[in-house]
Structure 1
Amino acid sequence: FGQTKNTAEERVKQQDGTSNPEELKLITAKIVPASCTDKKVHKVLETYNNCYNIRKEWYHCNPDDVLRAINEVAYGIPRTHSFTMRPHQQERHDKVIKAFSNGYDEFLIGAIMRFGKTFTSYQIMKTLGSDLTFVVTYKTNDVVQAWREEIENHVDFKDYRFLNVKDCNLDLLQSNKKVVVFVSVPYLLNDAGAKDKSWIYKLKPDLVIVDEQHYGSATPKFREIIEKLNPTKRIDLSGTPYKALMRGSYPDECVYRWDSLPIGMNLFVIDLAKEVAENSERAGFIDEDGFHINKFFAANKNGFIFHRDVESAMIKLIGNNGFEKNKHLFSPFCIREIDDKQSLNHILMRLESVDSAIAMEKMLTDMLPDYKIIRAAGSDSLAIKDADKLQSIISKSNKSITITVGRFETGITIPLWGTVMPLHAGSSPESYTQTAYRASSECKTEKWTKKAFNVVDPDPNRAFEVVYTSRAIMKRKGTSLKQSFEEFFDCANVYAVDGNRFMKLTSDQLINKFETFLSKRDPASEIRSEYGMNNLKLSANAIVALTGINATKAKNISLLMTNNDLPKGKIKKRAASVGLKPEEKKVISDLIEKMKTVCSRIPIVVIASECVDLDSLLVDTNNKTFFKKVTGVTIDDYRDMLDTGALNRDWQDRAITRINNLSEAIKPEVY
Structure 2
Amino acid sequence: MADIFDQYVHPKTEVKPIIYAYSDTRFPGCLKVGYTDRPIEVRMHEHYPTLTPGQSYKVEYVESALNADGAIFMDHDVHRMLEAHGFHAQKSPDGKKSEWYKCTVDDVKAAVLAVKTSSLNLENRTQNFRMRPEQARAVRMTKAYFESETKRNPKHTAKFLWNAKMRFGKTFTSYELAKAMDMKRVLILTFKPAVEESWETDLLSHVDFEGWQFYSREVSQETGIRPEDLDQSRPIVCFGSFQDFLGTNAAGGIKAKNEWVHATNWDMVIFDEYHFGAWRENAKHLFEKEDEDSYDELDIDKYKKNEADNAVNEDFLPITTKYYLFLSGTPFRALNTGEFMEDQIFSWTYSDEQKAKEEWDDNDGPNPYASMPEMVMMTYRIPDEIRRIAYNEDFNEFDLNVFFAAKPEVEGHPETSQFVYKDYVQKWLSLIRGAYMPSTVDDLKLV
TM interval, shorter chain, is 0.5 to 0.7
Aligned to 2:243: 186
Aligned to 1:224: 285
Which of 352, 367, 376 aligns to 2:406? It is: 352
Letter of the 1:175 counterpart: Q
Task: Tell me whether 1:68 sits opposite 2:98 in the alignment.
Answer: no
CA gap 1:229/1:209 in 2 versus in 1, 3 angstroms: same
Distance in 1 of aligned mates of 2:185 and 2:336:
31
Letter of the 1:225 counterpart: L
Task: Tell me whether 1:152 sits opposite 2:189 in the alignment.
Answer: no
Deviation at 1:59, TM superposition (A): 6.0
Letter of the 1:154 counterpart: H
Distance in 1 of aligned mates of 2:405 and 2:283:
28
Distance in 2 of aligned mates of 1:69 and 1:259:
37
Distance in 1 of aligned mates of 2:88 and 2:420:
52
Task: Tell me whether 1:18 sits opposite 2:46 in the alignment.
Answer: yes
Distance in 1 of aligned mates of 2:190 and 2:99:
46
Aligned to 2:373: 263
CA gap 1:172/1:521 in 2 versus in 1, 3 angstroms: farther
Which of 32, 45, 49 aligns to 2:82? It is: 45
CA gap 1:242/1:27 in 2 versus in 1, 3 angstroms: farther
CA gap 1:186/1:50 in 2 versus in 1, 3 angstroms: farther
Aligned to 2:263: 202
Q: Describe the superposition over 1:388-411 as per-residue Cα deviations: whole angstroms up to 9, x where unpaired.
A: xxxxxxxxxxxxxxx543xxxxxx
Distance in 2 of aligned mates of 1:221 and 1:119:
29
Q: Describe the superposition over 1:326-357 as per-residue Cα deviations: whole angstroms up to 9, x where unpaired.
A: xxxxxxxxxxxxxxxxxxxxxxxx993433xx
Q: Describe the superposition over 1:184-215 as per-residue Cα deviations: whole angstroms up to 9, x where unpaired.
A: 21112222355334443232111111111111
Structure with the higher strand share, 1 or 2: 2
Contact 2:65 2:74 in 1 (8 A): no
Q: Describe the superposition over 1:462-499 as per-residue Cα deviations: whole angstroms up to 9, x where unpaired.
A: 799xxxxxxxxxxxxxxxxxxxxxxxxxxxxxxx5358
Aligned with 1:231: secondary structure?
strand
CA gap 1:236/1:462 in 2 versus in 1, 3 angstroms: farther
CA gap 1:40/1:50 in 2 versus in 1, 3 angstroms: closer
CA gap 1:91/1:12 in 2 versus in 1, 3 angstroms: farther
Contact 1:136 1:210 in 2 (8 A): yes
The gaps in structure 1 that reach 5 residues or longer are: 271-286, 296-349, 356-376, 386-402, 406-422, 428-456, 465-495, 500-512, 527-671
Distance in 2 of aligned mates of 1:51 and 1:42:
8
Aligned with 1:214: secondary structure?
helix
Contact 1:269 1:458 in 2 (8 A): no
Contact 1:109 1:235 in 2 (8 A): yes
Q: Describe the superposition over 1:251-295 as per-residue Cα deviations: whole angstroms up to 9, x where unpaired.
A: 22221222227314578999xxxxxxxxxxxxxxxx99xxx9x99
Aligned to 2:127: 81
Task: Tell me whether 1:130 sits opposite 2:187 in the alignment.
Answer: no
Contact 1:135 1:208 in 2 (8 A): yes
Matches within 5 A, 1:83-482: 83-103=129-149, 105-140=158-193, 142-164=194-216, 167=220, 171-172=228-229, 175-193=232-250, 195-196=255-256, 197-227=258-288, 228-260=318-350, 262-264=372-374, 352-355=406-409, 403-405=415-417, 424=419, 459=426, 461=428
Letter of the 1:106 counterpart: K
Aligned positions, number: 315
CA gap 1:216/1:12 in 2 versus in 1, 3 angstroms: same
- After the TM superposition, which of the residue ranges 103-112 and 151-160 deviates more from structure 2? 103-112
Identity value in percent: 24
Deviation at 1:247, TM superposition (A): 2.0
Letter of the 1:70 counterpart: V
Deviation at 1:248, TM superposition (A): 2.5
Q: TM-score, length-normalised on structure 1?
A: 0.40
Q: TM-score, length-normalised on structure 2?
A: 0.57
Aligned with 1:114: secondary structure?
coil
CA gap 1:523/1:458 in 2 versus in 1, 3 angstroms: closer
Deviation at 1:49, TM superposition (A): 5.1
CA gap 1:24/1:215 in 2 versus in 1, 3 angstroms: same
Distance in 1 of aligned mates of 2:259 and 2:59:
58
Contact 1:79 1:153 in 2 (8 A): yes
Letter of the 1:424 counterpart: F
Q: CA RMSD in A?
A: 4.6
Task: Tell me whether 1:497 sits opposite 2:436 in the alignment.
Answer: no
